[in-house]
Amino acid sequence: MARAISEAAGIDIVETNVPARLDRLPWSRFHVLVIAVLGITWILDGLEVTLVGSLSGVLAEDRSLALSPQQIGLAATAYLLGAVSGALLFGFWADRYGRKRLFTVTVLVYGVATAATGGAWDFWSFALCRFLTGAGIGGEYSAINSAIHELIPARHRGWVDLAVNGSFWVGAALGAAGALLVGQWAGLPTDLGWRLLFGLGGVLAVLIVLLRRHLPESPRWLMTHGRLPEAERVVDGIERRVERETGCALRPVDTAIRLRDGHRVTIAEIARTLTRHYAQRSVLGLALMTSQAFLYNAIFFTYGLILTQFYGIPATSIGWYILPFAAGNFLGPLLLGPLFDHIGRKPMITATYAISGVLMLATGVLFRLGLVDATTQTALWTVNFFFASAAASSAYLTVSEGFPLELRALAIAIFYALGTAIGGAVGPALFGALIAGGARADIMWGYALGAALMLGAAAVEAAIGVAAERKPLESVARPLSCPE
């Protein structure tokens, strides 16, 4: 129930229990729908990234493209640049114009661009389509993370976030399997199979848009943008739906929050919030994002090179080694996720980053000594990234719930962009150069750097991490529209 309050200062203040009503909801099919139709973004991202890596040999053989290894690497860079640009642009618009409008636009951008990739006729058309595909996915990151966190009850927010972000690796497994199918089993012409796989992404995007029509706008976003009556109606509808699905009457709530009605957030206020009021959380978000971006992009984008150059694995068989690697990455967030809600954010984030760092260093030493082959190397990475994947997913969780609602999508975009630009760009370039040198000792030092970054992030989390588990978003970070 909303209640208007008149203050002497002339500022219109409203009081609402919208957040408390959302957080007290029991788990229902509505929440499953939210996870399914919004969380599929990460499956699509994993599919896109893995397809290009796993199909590198096929793309090089295609008569119309004939991409060189350098051009394949540049196409991956174009995808990352698009993701960064899309995250910043669509993240800003998601905070300004709403979650639902933007998560419809971003999936359409993705769908059109990935389908167009299947029609690329040379390197430049391929790279442009990859850039635009990345822009759609990057925009999804900010809009979708915000919407999921604002619709999922506080007591489930941690494991849901980790499971959704970890589903990237379901897409990675599908991409690897699709590449194997095209390369070995389907018997399709070289210049047709890979085009059909990218075209499939466009079909999936249309289906996702149709499913997302059934989701409401975030009531939390509505209430902070002068649309409180609409927010109340949306919550009324969600409550009726949950009561029908669970067969249980909902208990009343007596917790309310006060907001300045129609408060407009300025760029200056956003800057002050990130650099002054939440400076420690900005440092924390940057440390977590950068370290995991370096680790993932350095290892994942050069994994095939390690297998082919040091273990003699044929390029067409790389997908077999991606599958167990993807399984470990998916199972980590899925199985460890509930502990982030029960044990707590700070101890679990610290532990997963630290364990991953130690395993990274140990793997580097064993590689340097020549004590591992392709199978045992893959097994080590599978165990390592079981923890690293949970750590990486928790970075997005930390940034999303650690900043005020009015700039949540933009905060995700900023730290994703900075982490990707610093760690994501440096990692593959550095490891590519080390691998090209052919010296195991040099590559080991690259692994050591990744380990040091993960251990450093663990130390930062231990020092200034935020205990946000099972707490309403508004108590973790007070909305900017709350009166002083």
- Reported as a single tens digit per residue, the pLDDT across 331-364 is 999 999 999 999 999 999 999 999 999 999 999 8
Phi, psi of 372 (to 5 degrees): -130, 150
Structure tokens at 5: 């309050």
**Alpha-helical segments (H) within 343-439:** 345-368, 374-401, 408-419, 425-437
Q: Is residue 224 a part of any domain in this protein?
A: no
The CATH number that applies at residue 293 is 1.20.1250.20
∠ CA 79-178-131, rounded to 5°? 10
Reference 288, options 410, 465, 429, 134; nearest CA is: 465
Phi-psi region of 311 (alpha: psi -120 to 50; beta: other; left: phi over 0): alpha
DSSP helix/strand/coil, 13: strand
- Reported as a single tens digit per residue, the pLDDT across 90-123 is 888 888 888 888 888 988 998 899 889 888 888 8
Residue 174 sits in which domain range? 22-216+267-476
- How far, in Å, are 392, 395, 408 from residue 293 at the CA level? 8, 10, 20
Q: Roughly what angle, to the nearest 10 degrees, separates helices 440-464 and 425-437?
A: 160
Q: Is residue 186 a part of any domain in this protein?
A: yes
DSSP helix/strand/coil, 260: strand
Mean pLDDT calculated for residue range 61-88: 77
Number of domains making up the chain: 1
Residue 28 confidence class, pLDDT cut points 50, 70, 90: very high
Q: How many CA atoms lie within 13 A of 106 on its CB side?
A: 35
Tell me if 51 sits within 8 A of 79, measured CB to CB.
no
Can you tell me the distance from the alpha carbon of 107 to that of 139, in angstroms, rounded to the nearest whole number? 8
Tell me if 165 sits within 8 A of 43, measured CB to CB.
no
Give the pLDDT of residue 347. 97
Give the rounded distance of the alpha carbon of 91 from its chain centre: 13
Can you tell me the distance from the alpha carbon of 308 to that of 314, in angstroms, rounded to the nearest whole number? 6
pLDDT at 297 over 90: no
Q: Is residue 233 a part of any domain in this protein?
A: no
52 Cβ contact list (under 8 Å, min separation 6): 59, 72, 75, 76, 79, 130
pLDDT at 54 over 70: no
- Reported as a single tens digit per residue, the pLDDT across 122-150 is 888 988 998 998 898 888 878 778 888 89
The DSSP 8-state label assigned to residue 154 in this structure reads G
Name the strands in the sheet holding 3-6, side by side, starting at the edge strand that comes first in the sequence. 3-6, 12-16, 257-260
Q: Is residue 184 a part of any domain in this protein?
A: yes
Can you tell me the distance from the alpha carbon of 50 to that of 323, in angstroms, rounded to the nearest whole number? 11
Q: Is residue 483 a part of any domain in this protein?
A: no
pTM of the predicted protein model:
0.85
Residue 70 confidence class, pLDDT cut points 50, 70, 90: low
Structure tokens at 319: 């997908």
Structure tokens at 416: 């994703």
What percent of the chain has pLDDT above 70? Answer: 88
Mean pLDDT calculated for residue range 430-439: 76
Tell me if 43 sits within 8 A of 34, measured CB to CB.
no
